[in-house]
Chains A and B, each alone.
Chain A
Amino acid sequence: MPTLTIIQAINAALDEEMARDTRVMVLGEDVGKRGGVFLATEGLQQKYGPDRVMDTPLSEAAIIGAAVGMAAHGMRPVAEIQFADYVFPGFDQLVSQAAKLRYRSGGQFTAPMVVRMPTGGGVKGGHHHSQSPEAHFAHTAGLKVVVVSGPYDTKGLLKSAIRDDDPVVFMEPKRLYRAVKEEVPSQEYLIPIGKAAIRRQGHDLTLISYGGSMVETQKAAEELAGVGISAEVIDLRTVMPWDKEAVLASVARTGRALVIAEAPRMASVASEVAATIAEELLDQLEAPPLRVTGFDTPYPYAQDKLYMPTVTRILNAAKRVLDY
């Protein structure tokens, strides 16, 4: 079984889906000849031609907006936005067109499309190469939002996203692109959108995270194990719709929860998860659900690593809920 990085898993998923379904096509800046700035689409244009792996003008509005029209016309476009930080010129196309097409037409037109984007910090990119804007999309009715953390999930979830009948924002933590390797089956498999994964079983508290912060979350769980504290670790994988059932089932058992994500705290996905835990499990909690998140500043350059939830910050929060 091949060992792949996330980048290679994306490439494999796109390759398999394009081979399976001629409606699937890829478009974006530099995705063709260059194979994508992160090389996620490397070799695909040679294999499938410039029409199905299309280099586009430098316009996120054109990329996402055209994908809406293509999808409505029967294609299954996979648009690449070079950095999540640059989705905003195309934001109106995602929010006003893609997200609302099915609804506003009463189900007559649909936009089955995927918008891939590298997300998150830790790569010394400053605020325009490091942001985690998933809350904008999760807040928009009509979009599904996936944030992956490993190669195996990436392949299975990207394939599911391509086959989904609704627009899916597919976010890839760029700092993990080549930092995580995993055995990824070359055979067909799908991971359902909306299902979390239990990464570690435990009974003292539940650590809920997704995307890049899964690294620090896993490490924090190991540190806790070292002092005899058993943490359950949940990787949400999809943040809209996030797996409420899995989260509540775990927290109902442990009575304590941390929600960890590097996106800014204000009005975040982490806030939504924490609020739901408080609403639904209040009298089963032994401590308030705490959020360990990025800060409400623009993403800084110099304090690149300090901005994201560190293992220490997670452990401090864990101590707070355990001592509560």
Chain B
Amino acid sequence: MIKHSWMFKPFSDLPIALVDEGGDWVADFPLELPPDFLRGLYRDMLAARLLDEKFVILIRTGKTSFIAPHAGHEAAQAGIAQALQRGHDWLFPYYRDMGLMVAMGVPLREIFGQMLGNAADPAKGRQMPSHPGSKALNIFTVCSAIASHIPPAAGAAISMKLKGSGQVSVCTFGDGATSEGDWYAGINFAAVQGAPAVFACLNNRYAISVDLSHQTAAHRIADKAHAFGIPGYRVDGMDVLGSYFVMREVIERARAGHGPALVELEVYRYGPHSSADDDSRYRPKEEVEAAKRRDPIERFRRFLEKQGLWNLEWEEMLRADLKAQIDRALEEAEAMGEVPALAMFDDVFAEPTWNLREQRELVREELR
């Protein structure tokens, strides 16, 4: 286990993977994780996948206006969620992280509330779907502007360092974000300050339609860490244990005062960029099918089976339980009803200014 020395070398040629495609443990250290934890990882991944499928139903039945499919990202998402100290560390997610939200323990009802933009949304229906956040779990509300959350993640990390709070700021983003100036600005500042921050790129090789070769001439995204003077790790993001162990190491390394790290988790996006995208215009079906054959859930199932931790009966029970929870949560969320119209004017400031009061009055009159 991780003790005083770091297990993983940065800038490896091959992506770090601890479980191979056949489901065998291939790491050079013994696996010492309790069965419940391993089953929990599987459960988180499966819940994320089922949620993604449910979202497709939501959009096709007109209950929501936008979805950002995350199928194919589940291993990285489940690994990240278990690697940080949930509710203590801070997470700065991006819009393809609904699977990560489930694994972080955000209540399904809140997730559906956000997707519906109704009263079940803790953010009061302020943003388009797939933009979650939770103060209770220190999950910084997602902002659409790509990479704009990187400098705030750095700032929070610097604040953690100044306060000595023992927290780590973990920030996720896609491969496209790494081309933004704010991405560089934020990581650079965190690195200069040696702040406890971990920057995790879920590299699915497409920013909507633009593939990685048009995004960067760098050999790999992890290499960009050289520019900041911090370690960069390339990880097989379809391997949940690889994702978990590397993320856990860099998070604990940051917590111990050794500064930020950049982790590139190689994943694949099964679905289109969003419900408004047609991915057949820019990538061949065969490529998608080939990626699905490396499915992270299947791989981990094979692993669990070989460890004697999986059987069909458990799988069916688990699926039935998760589906029931999802259906119930959606019903509960729907039952919460609309956000009041005049709530539109709340939360611009702590106290509404006169212009907002006037405008709220105008709408109140219109609705009378």
Contact = CB atoms under 8 A, between A and B. Distances in A.
A–B proximity contact (CB within 8 A)? yes
B354 A241 contact: yes
A110 interface: yes
5 contacts: A70-B155, A104-B143, A105-B126, A109-B140, A165-B349
A108 B148 CA distance: 18
Contact of B141 (A67, A74, A93, A105): A105
A108 B354 contact: no
Interface stretch (B100-108, B182-190, B255-263, B312-320): B182-190
Interface stretch (B4-12, B28-36, B156-164, B243-251): B156-164
A64 interface: yes
Contacts of B182: 61, 65, 92-93
A66 B143 contact: no
Interface string A95-134: 0110011111111111000000000000000000000000
Interface in A35-77: 51-52, 54, 56-57, 59, 61-62, 64-75, 77
Given A107-B346, A166-B349, A62 B189 contact: yes
Contacts of A54: 158, 193
A99 to B, nearest CB: 9
Interface in B108-127: 121-124, 126-127
A261 to B, nearest CB: 18
A267 interface: no
Q: Which of A65, A93, A166, A241 has the most CB of B within 10 A?
A: A65
B14 interface: no
Contacts of B355: 241
A244 B163 CA distance: 41
Contacts of A74: 159, 163
A84 interface: no
Given A25-B162, A57-B185, A105-B123, A92 B141 contact: no
Given A61-B151, A69-B169, A103-B347, 17 more contacts: A25-B162, A51-B162, A52-B162, A59-B189, A65-B186, A68-B155, A69-B153, A73-B90, A77-B155, A89-B181, A89-B185, A93-B152, A97-B149, A105-B133, A106-B124, A107-B346, A144-B353
A225 interface: no
Given A101-B141, A105-B135, A108-B133, A65 B152 contact: yes
A295 B144 CA distance: 35
Nearest to A113: B155
B234 interface: no
Nearest to B114: A106
Interface residues of B, number: 49
B357 to A, nearest CB: 10
A105 B152 CA distance: 15
A19 interface: no
A35 to B, nearest CB: 20
Nearest to A67: B155
Nearest to A166: B349
Contacts of B157: 69
B150 interface: yes
A194 interface: yes
B181 to A, nearest CB: 6
A173 interface: no
Contacts of B155: 65-73, 77
A68 to B, nearest CB: 4
A112 to B, nearest CB: 9
Given A102-B348, A166-B350, A69 B148 contact: no
A25 B163 CA distance: 12
B227 interface: no
Given A65-B148, A69-B151, A96 B143 contact: yes
A108 B185 contact: no
